[in-house]
Amino acid sequence: MSKDRVINRIDGNGSDKIPTGELLIDEEVIKSYLKYDKVTFDEKKEFVNELDLDIITINPDIKEDSIDWKDLEKWAGNDIFKFVLLDGLFGWGVDEMGFEAFMIALMKQSKEFEDLKGKVRESFGKVAENIEGRGADGIIIADDIAYNKGVIVRPSLLREYYFPWLAEIVEIFKELGFYVFFHSDGYLKDVIDDLIGTGIDGMQCIERAAGMDVDSLIENYGEKLCFWGNVDISELMKPLNEEKLTDLIRSYVPQKANARYIFGTSSGLVMGVDSDNLKIYKKIKE
């Protein structure tokens, strides 16, 4: 039921309840909530079941000669939608070159930038060659291309050198039958049409603090994209009684019934979240 609930929302068919899920779940959050000293797959599964989450996200460890799929295949037999999270070009660039050097390479279209595009494309290709049959349902390409005022480079540069590359990556996974979401913090309204043009099925994050209003996005783009996130994690870090939790839900859930929307935070569940507030994931389905 959980997996179908997510698929129906992504496809725009509606579902019995609003699906819920997180980009990431810090093990310290699980320890605090369950009052355990360690976290294995069993504790993760218990936590997910306790919160009645519909999505689990796996971040594989990709090396030149191997891929550690973490717990992906353990989740395969469970009725839950399984996303695989992959760092995109900007993430690779900042990690390997540093932010300033990567920005310069992008703007100059240097050989280093073109080499990096090829390297990341090759990495995605390796994932595509090995992911079938492991139980995954979707891919999240995580690339923070924006901040709270807009994209971090001129949109024209992204349109010429980034979005065509991203479209190639999206196509690789779409041809294999996977749903593809794009994650980025920040204000993205100036390039949403470009993102739609890459073939993605949805966007994860939807940072309200950066002016990403989910009702406006659904009204303007809800026929083409599913939106996942929008909840500010800081809201869940302060004590909230039942009334305030209900008010919080009302402030974030889209006004349009059966909208292409998945409830969750913009950032994932990180240390500092109040364990008592995690009842919000069940409460939203009441």
Structure tokens at 57: 């996200």
For residue 148, give its domain range. 2-283
Q: CB neighbours of 63 closer than 8 A, spacing ≥ 6?
A: none
* Longest Cα–Cα distance in the chain: 57
CA distance 226 to 242: 29
* Type of residue numbered 137: D
DSSP sequence for the chain = -HHHHHHHHHHT---SS--B--S-B-HHHHHHHHT-S---HHHHHHHHHHHT-SEEEE--EE-SS-EE-TTHHHHTTSSSEEEEEEE-HHHHHHHHH-HHHHHHHHHHT-HHHHHHHHHHHHHHHHHHHHHTTS---EEEEE---EETTEESS-HHHIIIIIHHHHHHHHHHHHTTT-EEEEE--S--GGGHHHHHHTT-SEEEE--GGGT--HHHHHHHHTTT-EEEEEE-GGGGGS---HHHHHHHHHHHS-SSTT-SEEEEESS-B-TT--GGGGGHHHHTT-
Ranges of the chain whose pLDDT falls below 50:
none
Q: pTM of the prediction?
A: 0.95
> HSE on the CB side for 81, CA within 13 Å?
28
Structure tokens at 156: 């024209």
**For residue 243, what is the domain's CATH number?**
3.20.20.210
Q: CB neighbours of 220 closer than 8 A, spacing ≥ 6?
A: none
Taking phi over 0 as left and psi of -120 to 50 as alpha, with beta for the rest, 217 belongs to alpha
- On whether the CB atoms of residues 211 and 187 are closer than 8 A, the answer is yes
Distances (CA, A) of 261 to 39, 108, 256: 30, 38, 10
Number of domains in the chain: 1
Which of 216, 247, 209 minimizes the C-alpha distance to 230?
209
Q: What is the pLDDT of residue 1?
A: 67
